[in-house]
Amino acid sequence: MNKFSAPFEAKYNRYFEKQLAKLRKRDKTRAERILKRTQEICATPYDVDTRFAKGEYRGKREGRAGDDRFLFVVCKQCRELGHMSMNGCPVCSEIKDETVIFVMMIEGHKY
């Protein structure tokens, strides 16, 4: 078991994967830093350095990797707090509680 073996499974939606692919072409180091951080979050999704996002991103949690931010949903917490309609996962009933879905990246300080 390595340092960041995750009790939660990571899933990336299409938009996140697309953003990550673009970032890999421009800056492989930043992309790798974000992937490493997603693994850390899967190990401890309720960590103190992640918080709930506000405004149009309500219902999601926010994480950081350097200056880059990304939004994710902890499925168990989403169901417990009744955020399913805000997060709009099309296959919610098919996903286990122990899943973290990474939704989108916000590069630098764009928000």
Q: Looking at residue 80, which CATH number applies to its domain?
A: 3.30.2310.20
Is 27 among the domain residues?
A: yes
Is 55 among the domain residues?
A: yes
pLDDT value at residue 47: 76
Is 30 among the domain residues?
A: yes
Give the count of domains, the chain: 1
Is 3 among the domain residues?
A: no
Residue 75, SS3? helix
pTM, rounded to two decimals: 0.84
Is 85 among the domain residues?
A: yes
Is 4 among the domain residues?
A: no
Over 50: is that where the pLDDT of 111 sits? no
Is 111 among the domain residues?
A: no
Mean pLDDT confidence for 9-37: 94
Number of H helices, E strands in the chain: 4, 5
In tens, the pLDDT along 35-70 reads: 999 999 999 888 767 788 888 888 899 988 888 999
Most confident of 9-13, 43-47, 80-84: 9-13
In tens, the pLDDT along 88-105 reads: 887 788 888 899 999 999
Distance of alpha carbon 71 from alpha carbon 64, whole angstroms: 9
Residues 6+ apart with CB under 8 A from 78: 59, 84, 87, 89
Residue 45 burial class via C-beta count within 10 angstroms: exposed 0-12, middle 13-18, buried 19 and up: buried
Residue 3, SS3? coil
Q: For tokens 């673009």, what's the residue? A: 22
Expressed as residue numbers, the domain containing 34 is 9-106
Is 100 among the domain residues?
A: yes
